[in-house]
Amino acid sequence: MSNDRRKGFITKEILRDSIKESFVKLNPKYMIKNPVMFIVEVGTFITLFLTIFPNAFGETGSNLHLYNGIVFFILFVTVLFANFAEAVAEGRGKAQAESLKKTRKDTKAKLIDKNGNIKIINASETKKGDIVLVEAGDLIPNDGEVIEGLASVDESAITGESAPVLKEAGGDFSSVTGGTKVVSDWLKIRITATPGESFLDKMINLVEGASRLKTPNEIALTMILVSLTMIFLIVVVTLYPLAKYVGITIPVSTLIALLVCLIPTTIGGLLSAIGIAGMDRVTRFNVIAMSGKAVEACGDVNTLILDKTGTITYGNRLAAEFIPVGKHTEKEITRFALISSLKDETPEGRSTIELANKLGVQVNADEYKDAEFIEFTAQSRMSGVDLKNGTKIRKGAADAIKKFVMDLGGKIPDDLDKVTTKIAGIGGTPLAVSVDKDIIGVIYLKDTVKPGLVERFERLREMGIKTIMCTGDNPLTAATIAKEAGVDEFIAEAKPEDKIEAIKREQAEGKLVAMTGDGTNDAPALAQADVGLAMNSGTTAAKEAANMIDLDSDPTKILEVVEIGKQLLITRGALTTFSIANDVAKYFAIIPAIFSIAIPQMNVMNIMRLATPQSAILSALIFNAIIIPALIPIAMRGVKYRPMKAEALFTRNILIYGLGGMIVPFIGIKVIDMLINPILKVLNLG
3-class SS of residue 295: helix
DSSP-assigned letter for residue 139: B
Cβ-based neighbours of 36, under 8 Å, separated by 6 or more: 225, 226, 229, 263, 264, 265, 268, 269
d(CA 379, CA 383): 11
AA letter at 514: A
Q: Which helix (H) or strand (E) holds 357?
A: helix 347-358
Q: How far apart are CA 520 and CA 525, in angstroms?
A: 10
Task: Kindly state the DSSP code that residue 156 receives in the 8-state scheme.
Answer: H
Using DSSP, state whether 546 is helix, strand or coil. coil
Beta-strand pair 372-374/548-550:
unpaired
Contact 221, 271 (CB under 8 A): yes
- Cα(624)–Cα(668) distance, integer angstroms: 10
Nearest Cα to Cα of residue 145 among 465, 540, 474, 525: 540
**Residue in 141, 151, 246 with CA at minimum distance from that of residue 200:** 141
CA separation for the pair 491, 306 (Å, rounded): 10
Determine whether 307 is an active site residue.
yes
| Binding site members for ATP | 344, 348, 376-383, 395
Beta-strand runs (E) in 466-570: 466-470, 489-491, 513-517, 531-535, 548-550
Comparing CA positions, the residue from 126, 129, 120 lying closest to residue 178 is 126
Report whether 96 contacts 283 (CB < 8 A). Answer: yes
Q: Count CB atoms within 10 A of the CB of residue 194.
A: 14
* Torsion angles phi and psi, residue 627, rounded to 5: -70, -25
Asked if 464 and 301 count as a contact pair (C-beta separation under 8 A), the reply is no
Q: Which residues pair with 441 in a beta bridge?
A: 324, 433
Q: Which residues are annotated as a binding site?
A: 344, 348, 376-383, 395, 518, 522
Half-sphere exposure for 287 (CA within 13 Å, toward CB): 32
Residue 686 has, within 13 A of its CA and on its CB side, a CA count of 14
Choosing from 143, 307, 447, 552, the catalytic residue is 307
| Residues contributing to the annotated binding site for Mg(2+) | 518, 522
3-state secondary structure of 550: strand
Measure the CA–CA gap between 300 and 514, rounded to whole angstroms: 10
Pure H helices in 611-659: 613-637, 646-653
Q: Which of 623, 602, 302 is nearest to 468 (CA)?
A: 302
CA-wise closest residue to 66 among 78, 77, 51, 80? 51
Would you please indicate which residues are annotated as catalytic (active-site) residues? 307
